Structure 1
Amino acid sequence: MDQKEGFEPFKSLDNLSKEDGSSEDFDLVILGSGEGSKYVAWTLARDGQRVAVIEREYIGGSCPNIACLPSKNIIHSAKVVSYLTRSEEFGIRKENVKTDMTVIRDRKRKMVDGLVQIHVENFRRSGTELIMGTGRFVGPKTLEVHGHDGSVRRIRGTDVIIGTGTHATLDPIPGLLEATPLTHIEALELDVVPGHLLVMGGGYIGLELAQAMRRFGSRVTIIERNERLVHREDLDVSEGVTELFIEEGISLVLNATVTSVAGKSGELVQLVVEHEGVSKAFEGTHLLVATGRTPNTAGIGLDLAGVEVTERGYIKVNERLETTAPGVWAIGECAGSPQFTHIAFDDFRVIRDNLAGGNHVTTDRQVPFCMFTDPEVARIGLSEREAEAKNIPYRLVKIPMASVLRTRTLSETRGFMKALIDVESDRILGFTAFGTSAGEVMASVQIAMIGGLPYTVLRDAVLTHPTLIEGLIILFSTTPTPQNAVSTSA
């Protein structure tokens, strides 16, 4: 869905071109309207500064349009399907369960449209000038904007923020581009259930969408280049997710490399894969590529602005999110920040404070995450693998989710919770949960970690019964097991 349709920019670009080549001056110019960018814009504009935001397509950025929120909308529809599939387990008889992808898609579209209008209103009320068009640097802190109506503006900011985000990486595999594969954007716009979806990638995006499409009725095969799914996490997490996907009927091809692609996604597509020293062919109707992200930094004139990038194309920034050009900042994923919306929001706070004369840095901040498979995987702080790598001794507590009585009332007992505890201070070093509403449970532990509280505070807390959070009492009442950072197996 093209978000430009039906949208009228607040200020027409007509008659705003500078025929003499001079620039319009702003206190702040922002390229991209994503999570961090929009909050900086709204905040400073409300404080009376003249702020312009240049947005090529998605008002409010990827999260409300093509990423976090629409994907969770689709995933929730898949959850409803799973309940219907299991309905007899809950004493509810059913006839045939049929998925109508057009209704699922339209529900998602309706939500996105509402979110876009909220953003439109926020830009208007804040006094931010939202310019719909394509921006490119033509000099230090100066951008030329080609509006969607064909007009041109040159604008300059006392400060400039680059927030152009990332896009799905398409590796240089023979035939891949010609196959016109799905990325997460197109996958969220499907109006049919794929007959057989081939998924390249066993990370967050690939796994979330693979499970959803399987529940909608698609046959699904995941091809992952690493030896296990979510390979950066502890082995027990990978094993739990792998077991879940196998039980749901998803085929896994691990430690495999795609060498060529033929055909066209949406019709018939064939992948040739090197797997355990043998070349194998896989055929499907659709191909989803979820193998990583590439920063949107090419072709926007960064060299003319004096802004340097890394070897991978991310903008070079210091801990204050300043680029190599004075008065130019970078925010969110294009700056190499962890690729989460909540981190982009924290980037906003860093830049906001520094523009006001502060010294807010990104160093050593917490990075919580949640993968929205069903059940979820969530972690804050150290994993066991990271503790091993850093040679940090710890005590481990771990319980199955089935020990939390609320999971039994929900018939959602799969998974576990575990925590790493400092051997001297009793503070929580890390927490991982694989289970229903894992992200919500993690947040409570994170708050304790922010406060520097010992695990005994959660152990001795009075928490409501029966809730999932109550499981923290059970977890932290377990006798901690000393772990040697060298010999621990997880």
Structure 2
Amino acid sequence: MAIETYQNLVIGSGEAGKLIAWNLAKKGQKTAVVERSLIGGSCPNIACLPSKNVIYSAKAVSLVHPTSGLGVVTGSVRVDMAGVAKRKREMVAGLIDLHLGYFKSSGAELIMGNARFTEPKTVEVALNAGGTRVLRGDRVFLNVGSRATIPDVPGLAAAGPMTHVEALDLERLPEHLVILGGGYVGLEFAQAMRRFGSRVTVVQRGRQLLEREDPDFAEAVLGMMKDEGIEVLLQAEVLSVAGKSGTSVKLQVRVGATEKTLEASDILVAAGRTPNTDRLDLDKAGVELDSRGYIRVNEKLQTSAADVWATGDGAGSPQFTHVGFDDFRVVMDNLNGGNRTTRGRLIPYCLFTDPELAHVGLNETEAKAKGVSYRVARLPMSFVLRTRTLSQTRGFARALIGDDDRILGFTAFGAEASEMLAAVQTAMVGGMPYTALRDTIFTHPTAAEGLISLFSSPLSKPKA
């Protein structure tokens, strides 16, 4: 079979992959992108944007709640899950059309199929439409992403559990949804499905939800979940599963020293990610993997093979679309003669429950483990007047201040916490002292205005 040669061969059309392809193609370089199924990657199709779309539908339900809503009098409220799914699908369809337009205008060729390496910088593509093509790139960029991990629990895989992919397409309301995992995906779905009307149980192996967060923030999120009627089992291990998700399932669970049986209609697995590197025959390309199956890269995202780069989840980058975008910038800057690296990146993230949890930099647990000297600024979110206009005063914010008055880290759990986060991160990037935010004139009444109160509060030394 004849080999087709390109200057740039991109495997995967996720955030970094598509941007690399579009930018190089616009320079007049012959560029091909091989995509297995999701045009534009997971974010616009099955992850970030679709999940926030569904979460917003769930928020609409909460806003007309007869006791905790906003005083809006309605008739009986009914959730139309088919309508929720339709709204999500319409958004995704629009985003796919947008991506196809970018591929066309850039000149990058989009090839739908599964790629496997046959030798360095050469792949055989089993086309989705049938047939095969063999492609070789002078330069190769791997952007293969990850997928939901199905834990090795007897009976779980056979039960056909949902992942976030199937959950976002539900046109029915699960009677009782058991969610395996108390991380970001699990908690966002837990709250949304509970607000739609499902009974929800979260099974978390660890001692707390959100294992990376400081215990008091994890405890605050746990309180919110319980207040919304969500059952949370901590230090819980699923021993076995019987039945079929979507119909009827039984989960044998050990909680501490006690075993119990959970009877439910559906299971959603949100227990981590597996890199999609096992589908590529990367050994034939000379591309090394680490012990967890992620592509081994240096700080410039170069792999062990010459002229081959890897970006995004598959390269072990933090699993956020905004990190994928920065991976693109690292690669492109260096291709253009720069010297950009992934070293020392300040990466923010948000849990988009209602209210939100937003974080950037060090938290107290990390600072203590690293022996970093810091002082603490803390503020109840009820002191942020914006939260009172929204009738959402739950939560608190905390900032860690270094000896030189620079901000080391920030975490907030509360309404519009992500908006506060952006202002703090900007100050951190600029190396500004906390007093710059304290003395800024912010618009009233915004969430960012609460930073004045936060950084005007007395700074305290951390508790032992």
1:220 aligns with 2:200: yes
Counterpart of 1:260 in structure 2 is 240
CA distance in 2, matches of 1:25, 1:154: 9
CA distance in 2, matches of 1:348, 1:117: 22
Of 405, 410, 416, which aligns to 2:385?
405
1:421 aligns with 2:401: yes
One-letter amino acid of the structure 2 residue matched with residue 30 of structure 1: V
Structure 1 residue 48, shift from structure 2 partner: 1.2
Contact 1:393–1:483 under 8 Å retained in 2: no
Counterpart of 1:9 in structure 2 is none
Of 355, 366, 369, which aligns to 2:349?
369
Counterpart of 1:471 in structure 2 is 450
Structure 1 residue 171, shift from structure 2 partner: 1.2
One-letter amino acid of the structure 1 residue matched with residue 57 of structure 2: S
Distance 1:139 1:411, change over 3 A: same
Counterpart of 1:52 in structure 2 is 32
CA distance in 2, matches of 1:289, 1:256: 14
Counterpart of 1:327 in structure 2 is 307
CA distance in 1, matches of 2:108, 2:382: 50
Q: Secondary structure at the match of 2:461?
A: strand
Structure 1 residue 278, shift from structure 2 partner: 1.9
1:142 aligns with 2:122: yes
1:91 aligns with 2:56: no
CA distance in 2, matches of 1:411, 1:172: 43
Counterpart mapping for 1:64-463 below 5 A? 64-86=44-66, 89-423=69-403, 425-463=404-442
Q: CA RMSD in A?
A: 1.0
Contact 2:182–2:202 under 8 Å retained in 1: yes
Instruction: Mark the runs of 5 or more structure 2 residues left unpaired by the alignment.
Output: none
1:33-74 Cα offsets, whole Å, 9 max, x none, are 000101111111111111100001100000000000000000
CA distance in 1, matches of 2:135, 2:69: 62
One-letter amino acid of the structure 1 residue matched with residue 459 of structure 2: P
Segments ≥4 residues shifted beyond 3 Å: 86-89
CA distance in 1, matches of 2:279, 2:411: 40
Structure 1 residue 483, shift from structure 2 partner: 2.4
Structure 1 residue 146, shift from structure 2 partner: 1.5
1:39 aligns with 2:19: yes
CA distance in 1, matches of 2:70, 2:217: 28
User: Does 336-345 or 296-305 show the bigger shift?
Assistant: 296-305
Q: Secondary structure at the match of 1:298?
A: helix
One-letter amino acid of the structure 2 residue matched with residue 400 of structure 1: P
CA distance in 1, matches of 2:79, 2:417: 27
CA distance in 2, matches of 1:57, 1:65: 10
Contact 1:87–1:93 under 8 Å retained in 2: no
Number of aligned residue pairs = 464
CA distance in 1, matches of 2:255, 2:409: 35
Contact 1:169–1:292 under 8 Å retained in 2: yes
Q: Secondary structure at the match of 1:483?
A: coil
CA distance in 1, matches of 2:66, 2:215: 29
1:242-267 Cα offsets, whole Å, 9 max, x none, are 00000000001100111111100000
CA distance in 2, matches of 1:143, 1:448: 45
Structure 1 residue 311, shift from structure 2 partner: 1.5
One-letter amino acid of the structure 1 residue matched with residue 196 of structure 2: F
One-letter amino acid of the structure 1 residue matched with residue 127 of structure 2: G
User: Does 121-130 or 141-150 show the bigger shift?
Assistant: 141-150
1:82-106 Cα offsets, whole Å, 9 max, x none, are 1111477533223321111000000
Distance 1:236 1:86, change over 3 A: farther
Contact 1:88–1:94 under 8 Å retained in 2: no
CA distance in 2, matches of 1:356, 1:155: 25
CA distance in 1, matches of 2:302, 2:68: 57
Structure 1 residue 482, shift from structure 2 partner: 2.0
Q: Secondary structure at the match of 2:137?
A: strand
CA distance in 1, matches of 2:67, 2:29: 56
CA distance in 2, matches of 1:366, 1:162: 23
Q: Secondary structure at the match of 2:117?
A: strand
1:407-454 Cα offsets, whole Å, 9 max, x none, are 11110111111100012x100000101011111210110001010000
One-letter amino acid of the structure 1 residue matched with residue 111 of structure 2: I
CA distance in 1, matches of 2:73, 2:28: 61
CA distance in 2, matches of 1:372, 1:232: 16
Q: Secondary structure at the match of 1:338?
A: coil
Scaled by the length of structure 2, the TM-score of the pair is 0.99
Contact 2:64–2:71 under 8 Å retained in 1: no
1:389-419 Cα offsets, whole Å, 9 max, x none, are 1011111000011001111111011111110
Structure 1 residue 299, shift from structure 2 partner: 2.7
CA distance in 2, matches of 1:299, 1:186: 22
